[in-house]
Structure 1
């Protein structure tokens, strides 16, 4: 019996689990995850959203970057069970190139609480082995907490204002062009 329990414990899937209670009815929280306006109100400044199984769930943290480097460029919805569950595939940020070529999976569950609030549970699975996967896991352990905090904030004080973030990105993208246009010495 102990051997069976020990081998079950060793086979457990590595996962991230985050949860937040949002001061909004479940239908509003559902729209935040399944519309372009909703996703850009808390998740990232740019998005292409097509809420259907296999549809686009492209979340652009850097809308000015080249295709493939904007963020979650080619992600898609895996399942939509309105208004209680959605899932999508996901990848790592560009600074983790080996892992970025792979996909992991995120499941978001919504549970209405007394009609005025919603519990949002996020479960991220599909992690590989090795140092770069460990870095990705640590990255998303922090990042998903921030995403859910932004979702909560969006319903407490309004949509996230991405203007300062976008201005910083514009300046960053303008720097290489300015350096390249300087005469050689």
Structure 2
């Protein structure tokens, strides 16, 4: 896994030893996302569609990305969606005009191996934002590890549980 913090953004990469199409479905089908990312997901795989993750099932008021949307979808290659941070950062990054953006790129390395890159941008520059950036760096590392484990072994670890 390769991790880096760019100027107020997070970039995380991992190689998953499955075909790219399987990785694509893991990011774009609600039931698949619920196996490795968040226990409840509403994914509408079209531009402008929902990209909502609920980290506490049934809780629509906290620890979720309710209202987040897919901004770009290039089948099998890239998806980009708006993002809300966890509740401790809701005052700086969860209002509609403060949402950050996550871009996921998939690249085939071989027939059975895919490079996954997550680039999370839009963080502000003050101390609170720095905390959010560092939290997301740890979270994306865990998320991609869970993706790899779920696809290679069938054992995902859901993110961000309270």
- What TM-score range do you get, normalising by the shorter chain? 0.7 to 0.9
**TM superposition score normalised by structure 2:** 0.87
Higher relative contact order structure (alpha carbons within 8 Å, sequence separation ≥ 6): 2
Choose between structure 1 and 2: higher strand proportion.
2
| TM score, norm. by length of structure 1 | 0.77
CA-to-aligned-CA distance 1:118-161 (integer Å, 9 cap, x gap): 00011011111222211110110100000000000011210537
Flag as ranges the 4+ runs of structure 1 deviating above 6 A: none
More helix by share: 1
Is 1:93 the counterpart of 2:89 in the alignment?
no
Report matched runs for 1:1-185 at 5 Å: 13-65=7-59, 67-99=60-92, 100-101=94-95, 102-160=98-156
For structure 2, which runs of at least 5 residues remain unmatched after alignment? 1-5
For structure 1, the 5+ residue unaligned runs are 1-11, 170-185
Contact map agreement 1:84 1:109 (CA 8 A) in 2: yes
Coordinate RMSD, CA, aligned: 1.9
Larger radius of gyration: 1
